[in-house]
Chain A
Amino acid sequence: GESVGLHLPTLSVQEGDNSIINCAYSNSASDYFIWYKQESGKGPQFIIDIRSNMDKRQGQRVTVLLNKTVKHLSLQIAATQPGDSAVYFCAEKGGNRDDKIIFGKGTRLHILP
């Protein structure tokens, strides 16, 4: 029979447009957040991180926004390219020194030609 896989939300974006991938985190005490990108057949790759004392951080073509009030994290990718096609994971870490980083389920970004 057909296996039921993990349903990942999918975001389809036209090449050249901006992409916004959203993530709701669970722990109000989390103080460190990371976005990872996983391309097909590869391991997750660090993109950008942000600490809770900031609400915005920019990298090369990427921006992470943090809204602690509503426990929401977003990743913005400017001028989306075919190479951006991947699954994107947000991850959070609690406020205690020994807290583990917890990964979200992921969002698949699909680039339309």
Chain B
Amino acid sequence: DAGVIQSPRHEVTEMGQEVTLRCKPISGHNSLFWYRQTMMRGLELLIYFNNNVPIDDSGMPEDRFSAKMPNASFSTLKIQPSEPRDSAVYFCASGRGAGDTQYFGPGTRLTVL
């Protein structure tokens, strides 16, 4: 079975540019999570969806960040405009429910210059 798929795996962009990260959850999973991991803050939950509906976005740092889940098999995390402090590894994870085991993708390493 394919696990969680994320693209791109690496992204280097310049400050001010728009960045879109993509995620395909495991088929049959109803919950999808976006995390950010940095040396300074560790693993932070940004937002999670249940049945394609955003449930909790309290971890989204500011209005520059937005996430969508148009269908059960696809989600995006967008940063516009990007800033150097957004540099991090962004993980997508999916699970059968919000409180069930989460399966993580390989992550997208974002570098904003």
Q: Which of B41, B93, B101, B106 is the one whose CB lies under 8 Å from A49? A: B101
Asked if residues A100 and B48 are in contact (CB atoms below 8 Å), the reply is yes
Whether A46 lies near B103 (C-beta < 8 A) is yes
Q: Mark A82-113, 1 if CB is under 8 A from B, else 0.
A: 00000001000110011111010110000000
Which of A42, A43, A46, A103 has the most B CB atoms < 10 Å from its CB? A43
A100-B39 CB under 8 A given contacts A32-B99, A43-B105:
no
Among B39, B41, B98, B105, which residue has its beta carbon within 8 angstroms of that of A99? B98
Q: What chain A residues lie within 8 Å of B42 (beta carbons)? A: 6, 103, 105-106
Q: Which of A3, A34, A42 contacts B106 (CB 8 A)?
A: A42
The reply to whether the CB of A1 lies closer than 8 angstroms to some CB of chain B is no
Q: Which A residues lie within 8 Å of B113 (CB)?
A: none
Contact among B38, B48, B99, B106 with A43 in the assembled complex (CB-CB below 8 Å): B106
Chain B interface residue bracket vs A = 20 to 34
B14 cross-chain contacts in A, Cβ below 8 A? none
1/0 contact string of A49-82 vs chain B (CB within 8 Å) = 1000000000000000000000000000000000
Interface size on A, residues (CB 8 A): 24
Given contacts A3-B39, A5-B40, contact A34 B104 (CB under 8 A): no
16 new A-B contacts, CB < 8 A, other than A43-B104, A49-B101, A98-B99, are A3-B39, A3-B40, A4-B40, A6-B38, A36-B104, A43-B105, A44-B91, A44-B104, A46-B101, A46-B102, A89-B43, A93-B99, A100-B48, A100-B98, A100-B99, A101-B102
Query: When the two chains form the complex, which single residue of B40, B93, B98 contacts A98, counting CB atoms closer than 8 Å?
Result: B98
- A99→B107 contact, CB < 8 A: no
